[in-house]
Chain A
Amino acid sequence: MPEARLSDVLPLAKTAMAATKVGDLRDPATAIGPMVSARQYDRVQRYIRLGIEAGATLVAGGEGHPDGLGGYFVRPTLFTDVTNEMTIAREEIFGPVLCILTYRDEDEAIAIANDTDYGLSSYVFSSDPAHARAIAARLQTGRVVINGAPHDPLAPFGGYKQSGIGREYGVFGLEAFLEAKAVLGVGVRHSHGGRTRFHAPGCLRRPRDLCRAARHGARRCDAANGRLWRRRIDHDGDVDGVRFWPDLVA
């Protein structure tokens, strides 16, 4: 966040942290449950300790269990006075521990955000959509979420850099399980103007008609452009009164 706004942000952050409910899993208002295992609990405790040792300041939370809770519950923790060199700012904690870092200008904000081996997601908050989009363009992450937009299950998900390879969800997720096989020579073989070409399957039924079409200005020939091709011939006029085109386009 902007350095100049830190004094405005800290009370807001304290309020938001105080409102974050941890504990009773049956309460619909509870936001945070326990860590999954003793190992994960210890791991989060270690990061909180490392943050304190590195000189970061606790805004909320800290080591140990939340009041009245045992098991693998940890205290939702927020640090300020964090620099991007600190371990808590660099490594994935996988627990409810957040850090406030300040920037002097947007170039520095982008530099901090991109100075990491990871690149899974980023979040941008702005009241100006064009501004948010311009910042999004400079972030090296697989997803950029603007103003807390909800999860989109058809938009690709995956990471830049060491956050992964490939994407899941939607068309990208489907193609992750597909191989592309190119089949050459299955189209219509056609000689015209001294050149031999193959035309995409399903486009033209008769090579002879393709020659006639070519004489009348048709240049595109593939299944995907079938409609476009037909329009072009329409556009070019009456084609000598030869009404062959409906037969040609699959």
Chain B
Amino acid sequence: MRIVERIYIDGVFVKPHGTEMFDLFDPARGEVIGQVRLANAEDARRAIQAAKRALPSYASTGKAERLELLRNLHDAVLSRGADLEEATILEYGAPVARARWTARYAAESFLNAAKTLEAYSFTRPAGGSEVVMEPVGVAGLITPWNANAGFICNKLAYALAAGCTAVIKPSEMSALQTEIVTEALHAAGAAPGLFNIVTGRGEVVGAELTTSPDIAKISFTGSTAVGKAIMKAAADTVKRVTLELGGKSPSLILEDADLEAAVRMAITAGFQNSG
């Protein structure tokens, strides 16, 4: 049995104030393999305050400093690739080929964000005036279980590239994977509070993020039903929202397609990530 009783706030691992223990499963066997202690609203508020304190100095950093941070985060996550792969197989039930790809992809998110940042101009003219692109503020990043490490890393990478600090609420069903990602990110030696990782329930930790006046932006990946609830909750403080929700993505095989290849690829695409 693996017991996860740590969340990450202000640069340190702490025990959550929350007391609910949530079972973790090996989906290949349908057996309990561990438990995670879930964070509560108080934990979420502490994480938000840490991110808020870290914001002014981080938002004023230049490109060079952010690029260095992103590259360090990449190296740190990459170095835990084997552990992450193992946890993704065990806790999520990903086949090894998929688990390996997702672990590498999570690390590469930081390089992709770095590449984007490097080429990006934060000022541009408009008419006779100047437009300055500024970090939106503290970002709340809410991620699902179907690509845990990838979503945490990708959303965090772009938030940091933009000069934002973040509170991340990963799925409670991915606690083992999240712990490895968190350890890796911590090892990169970033300033305290830049990112805070709080595993808990959506209706508790997620709700705190979506209603807090100190959160400026929510980036959420998950179901359309939850996305709608987040958008409604975020309306009271007029948060910016990025929502990546459900889909029903069609494959169109045209008359002039190579049928054998098209059928094979359409089925492969449809079954990606176990459907």
Determine whether A36 belongs to the interface, using a CB cutoff of 8 Å to chain B: yes
Residue B241 contacts which of A16, A25, A141, A165 (CB distance < 8 angstroms)? A165
Residues of B within 8 A of A91 (CB): 248
Residues of B within 8 A of A148 (CB): 261, 265, 268-269
Determine whether B117 belongs to the interface, using a CB cutoff of 8 Å to chain A: yes
Query: Which of B130, B246, B249 has most A Cβ within 10 Å?
Result: B249
Interface locus among B21-29, B38-46, B185-193: B21-29
State whether A118 and B130 are in contact (beta carbons under 8 Å apart), knowing that A27-B96, A124-B252 are contacts in the complex: no
When each residue 101-128 of chain B gets 1 if its CB lies under 8 Å from chain A and 0 otherwise, what string results?
0000100110011011100101011101
CB pair A174–B129 under 8 Å, yes or no, is: no
CB pair A120–B131 under 8 Å, yes or no, is: no
Query: Which of B96, B243, B248, B264 has most A Cβ within 10 Å?
Result: B248
Query: Which of B122, B133, B159, B271 has most A Cβ within 10 Å?
Result: B271
State whether A177 and B93 are in contact (beta carbons under 8 Å apart), knowing that A36-B145, A125-B257, A153-B108 are contacts in the complex: no
CB pair B242–A158 under 8 Å, yes or no, is: yes
Residues of A within 8 A of B257 (CB): 125-127
A233 to B40, CA, bound (A): 65
CB pair B253–A1 under 8 Å, yes or no, is: yes
A95 to B99, CA, bound (A): 17
Interface locus among A50-58, A71-79, A234-242: A71-79
Please report which residues of chain B, range 227-273, place their CB below 8 angstroms from some CB of chain A when the two chains form the complex: 227, 231, 240-271
When each residue 27-70 of chain B gets 1 if its CB lies under 8 Å from chain A and 0 otherwise, what string results?
11111000000000000000000000000000000000000000
CB pair A223–B117 under 8 Å, yes or no, is: no
CB pair A120–B266 under 8 Å, yes or no, is: no
CB pair A186–B130 under 8 Å, yes or no, is: yes
Residues of B within 8 A of A89 (CB): 248
Determine whether B72 belongs to the interface, using a CB cutoff of 8 Å to chain A: no
Closest to B223 in A: A92
CB pair A113–B96 under 8 Å, yes or no, is: no
A53 to B261, CA, bound (A): 31
Residues of B within 8 A of A98 (CB): 266-267, 270-271
Please report which residues of chain A, range 167-221, place their CB below 8 angstroms from some CB of chain B when the two chains form the complex: 167-171, 173-187, 197-201, 203
Smallest beta-carbon distance B23→chain A, Å:
10
A95 to B270, CA, bound (A): 9
CB pair B247–A72 under 8 Å, yes or no, is: no
Interface locus among B6-14, B134-142, B197-205: B134-142
By a beta-carbon cutoff of 8 Å, the part of chain B in contact with chain A is 25-31, 89, 92-99, 105, 108-109, 112-113, 115-117, 120, 122, 124-126, 128-136, 139, 145-146, 154-155, 158-159, 161-164, 173, 217, 219, 224, 227, 231, 240-271, 274-275
18 more A-B residue pairs beyond the given contacts A126-B256, A166-B243, A222-B128, with a C-beta to C-beta distance below 8 A? A5-B255, A9-B263, A12-B259, A20-B271, A30-B97, A71-B93, A91-B248, A97-B275, A106-B254, A116-B250, A125-B251, A127-B258, A145-B269, A147-B265, A165-B242, A166-B242, A183-B131, A199-B128
A-B contact pairs, 18 of them (CB 8 A): A106-B254, A120-B249, A123-B252, A123-B265, A135-B254, A148-B261, A159-B244, A162-B246, A163-B247, A166-B241, A170-B116, A174-B113, A174-B158, A175-B162, A176-B217, A187-B129, A201-B130, A222-B125
